[in-house]
A and B are shown apart, each in its own frame.
Chain A
Amino acid sequence: MKQEEIGLRVRRIKHGTVIDHIAAGQALNVLRILGITDRSNEVVSVVMNVSDRKKDIVKIEDRELKPEEVDKIALISPDATINIIRDYEVVAKHRVILPSQIEGVVRCMNPNCITNTDEPVRPRFVIHRNDAVELHCVYCGRVISERIADFLI
């Protein structure tokens, strides 16, 4: 499917952020990571499984996402790109960059980890990238290497 046809599906936005090249099927998790819920006010368009199920696209109007907000997306979709739109023009475009640490985004998969208790501590992980993305819990040492989206907070 060509880009113009996608344009027909979801109109161009005047101002805001377009997140493109999201791994197919991960758009809803991207919204979760960005903290966009049913209580959010932004106009959001979600397109899933376009270009022959190869990717998802999320468009958020009137909000320019900062790099530290979007880089967390790299956890579930390392090839995503961020386009900042002003007056229908792309004024900035970059790929998400996997941060070296994340805090408060993913919970530890170890039920006996101190971060899964009532203690006032946010789950924190050091990120390693070999072939796949690996999250190492700073507290208990448990490693999450598969189905990271299942552990999003």
Chain B
Amino acid sequence: MIRHVINITDLSRDEIDRILDRAAELEPIAHRGSSNILSGRILATLFYEPSTRTRLSFDAAMKRLGGDVIDFGPIESSSIAKGENLADTISVISGYADAIVLRHPKEGAARMASEFSSVPVINAGDGAGQHPTQTLLDLYTIRKESHLSNVKIALVGDLRYGRTVHSLAHALSLYNARIYLVSPDQLQMPDSIKGDLINSGTRITETTDIDDIIDVVDVLYLTRIQKERFPDPGEYQMVAGSYRITNETLRNVKDDLIIMHPLPRAGEIDCEVDASKHAIYFKQSFYGVPVRMAILSMVME
């Protein structure tokens, strides 16, 4: 029985597998279906920061399961604008709902919320910290569209600040993955995470040149390279340009390569690639629904 979902590293491989199995069972319902698995249940979605796909996919997931969703609307018209702290808000809302989804700008907010909540708390992103449901939907996508065990995967782009790739790398270390880290020098994966990966027996290779690895991997996982990471706009243009994926870049890749991206993209993938069989990123985004359905059903059953 899973209670809170705060950090991907709290979950064992067995627990992750059970969530992914459940998501696979529920996927047909996620495709324009409906069910009464959580009918009569209420989910509170507390978003202290803007979010489009995470919020909507939680909403969609709960409604496909026959449950209801409440939220506090725009922050400006809520009690938060009157200065209520998160702990009090959680204590109150956990009396109204059967589970809480929280996105908050402070790291550790979800962990703290779980200590004040009488119902399960699901972390939908805390500052630069954790976003475990993104990692779970990434794993589901890899399992469904490629394979998880012994997968050869390249993580490309901003590996220094990107929380998505940090959590994903940790989770992949449970599946004996071969991980290629592809980034400009100034955006390399932090040593602490590389250390964790090596200690877990994961084989990693670092490079700055995507062409070194693109033809050998099963999965290409791209992330946004943000302009504000570069003091010089010219340097940004040059670096970002060197990681841009086009049909030309994909000329010699494995036939069954899949390309993933947490979206929104900022020019990392040319639109011409969308039509290729390798492009999985919109499906990946859809898989957020069955994976979140699985999590919701498992914490509220």
Contacts and interface: CB of A to CB of B under 8 A. Distances in A.
B74 to A, nearest CB: 22
B127 A118 contact: no
A112 B87 contact: no
A123 to B, nearest CB: 10
Contacts of B192: 143
A138 B111 CA distance: 8
B129 interface: yes
A139 B85 contact: no
B87 A115 contact: no
Nearest to A138: B111
B136 interface: no
Q: How large is the interface on B (under 10, 10 to 19, 20 to 34, 35 or more residues)?
A: 10 to 19
A121 B111 CA distance: 11
Nearest to A137: B108
Most chain A CB within 10 A, of B85, B107, B115, is at B107
Contacts of B105: 112
A114 interface: yes
Interface string A57-84: 0000000000000000000000000000
A114 B85 contact: no
A110 B85 CA distance: 19
Interface in A89-130: 108, 110, 112-115, 117-121
B87 A139 contact: no
Nearest to A117: B106
A123 B125 CA distance: 20
Contacts of B87: 119-121
Contacts of B111: 114, 138-139
Q: How large is the interface on A (under 10, 10 to 19, 20 to 34, 35 or more residues)?
A: 10 to 19
B263 interface: no
Contacts of B126: 114, 140
A35 interface: no
Contacts of A110: 107
Given A112-B128, A140-B129, A141-B129, A121 B107 contact: no
Interface in B78-114: 85-87, 104-109, 111-112
Interface of B: 7, 85-87, 104-109, 111-112, 115, 126-130, 192
21 contacts: A108-B108, A112-B107, A114-B86, A114-B107, A114-B112, A114-B126, A117-B106, A118-B85, A119-B86, A137-B108, A138-B108, A138-B111, A139-B107, A139-B108, A139-B112, A140-B108, A140-B126, A140-B129, A141-B7, A141-B130, A142-B107
